[in-house]
Amino acid sequence: MDVLSVTSEIFPLVKTGGLADVAGALPLALAAHDISVRTLVPGYPAVTNALKRGRVVAEIGDLFGGSAKLVAARVGGLDLIVLDAEHLFDRPGGIYVDDFGKDWTDNWQRFAALSWVAAELAKGMVEGYRPRIIHAHDWQAAMVAAYVAFGGDQQTRVVVTIHNIAFQGQFGADIFPHLRLPDAAFTMHGVEYYGGVGFLKGGLQCAHAITTVSPTYAREIRTPEYGMGLEGLLNQRGYDLHGILNGIDPVAWNPQTDPALAANYAAANTKKRSVNKLALTSRFNLDHSEGPLFGLVSRLTWQKGIDLIAANIDWLVSLGGQLAVLGSGEAHLEAAMADAAVRHPGRVGFVQGYDEDLSHLMQGGSDIMLVPSRFEPCGLTQLYGLRYGAVPLVSRVGGLADTVIDANEAAIEAGVATGIQFSPVDSQTLGEAILRAINLYAEPETWSRMQRKGMKTDVSWNNSAGKYAMLYQNLAADQ
């Protein structure tokens, strides 16, 4: 079966978050289920520069304001179709924002073009290639469902995956005449959303199936607390909504072979983690300590609960813990992390920005990985922590609740605990969870058992890829 994946970013070529990791890993996992995936991705400079032997498979004279071409290539085991449209994607700055952190004003045009091209591929734009299924990721690709639904295509089936419902791609009604959609699409049964155009809303309205990245998040987004205004639509489409957990790439994230680690190790023997901890404390200018080292690899935002960590840093240090922070985001939270490092020299370290190798070392050297998100569709950080023996301390929301088994008395007694959960998501309960984690760390046998159990947990795409394959097959059977 041929599936066209449509995404605005893909690892290892271009990445701003977990979407890229999923888009890069899922096609490889689906191959084991006889699913052939090609990925349509924008031709940002980082993407086009990585193409070694690309082949032009189609040319487009007018694509939302300029000419474009489609380039087929294979990179890192991934079959790509690159949308090479210089007027839309060849520019400095970020892929979504400019050098000043402001959204590109033509984002609606850039990602409408991406979705339109996907729908045209399903109609046979490239000779000899017509995918039966299009899998669109997040608002940047969701409009492909509308282009298929209102374009007279009765054969193609579209799956839209919500990676984070907080980002919806909402624009003014003035863009609608430029979207190449019929007037009938500008209704509540199409892309119209409170008088404007909703890219994600239109995708969810028109998709044949909707998935999100964990079973708990699939339930949460049907409530006003987490649905971000789309809960009514999602309840109407509840039968078509599926929660399928994300996985991670077990090759890229493997503590036995990871080149970013100072020492490699296996689940059966975590002793070499101390070498990584020493390297990590050196990188963050932290003192040698017998207490636990907490790691934080995250965007520094309210959603991620970083303000709750900032409120608990003094408490964490007073209990004998240390904290290493890698991330960037909201200015006041960056300032809070920098200030904590100044107030607690040798106990708190902060590296602003993102470094892929350092993020791997943090998983291999931290004792505890902090993920106190207010909402978290799935989360990958805790999965990396499980794989590397960095015990996750997580809020009981979304995919965090689905992937981490709390170290309550019964779970510890049964030998199944893999981390620490806390709820509700506030400063006090996080502080209590930090204390609980430090007390558990002081019990070496219990702690080691938790680490080994976590490291033996299957966090790969094996099971989830099978669920996607079954979903595709069921949709294809309905044609």
Specify binding-site residues.
Answer: 15
Choose among 71, 106, 67: nearest CA to 85: 67
Q: Which residues pair with 325 in a beta bridge?
A: 296, 350
Tokens of 215: 């079973």
Binding residue ranges for ADP-alpha-D-glucose: 15
Q: How far is CA 303 from CA 81, 95, 239, 329, in A?
A: 33, 21, 28, 11
Phi, psi at residue 26, to the nearest 5°? -60, -45
Peptide bond between residue 424 and the one before it cis (omega within 30 degrees of 0): yes
Cis peptide before 292 (omega within 30 of 0): no
Distance, in Å, from the CA atom of 119 to the CA atom of 195, rounded to the nearest integer, reads: 25
**What does the block give as tokens for 103?**
């959204």
Q: Rounded CA gap, 275 and 361, in Å?
A: 10
Helix axes 427-441, 444-456, angle to 10 degrees: 110
**DSSP letter at 93?**
S
Burial of residue 429, with CB atoms counted within 10 A of its CB: 0-12 exposed, 13-18 middle, 19 or more buried: middle
Span between the terminal Cα atoms of the chain, in Å: 13
Burial of 402 (0-12, 13-18, 19+ CB in 10 A): middle
368 contacts 295 by C-beta, under 8 angstroms: yes
The set of residues, in sequence order, having a beta carbon less than 8 Å from that of 465 and lying 6+ positions away, is 26, 29, 30, 32, 33, 247
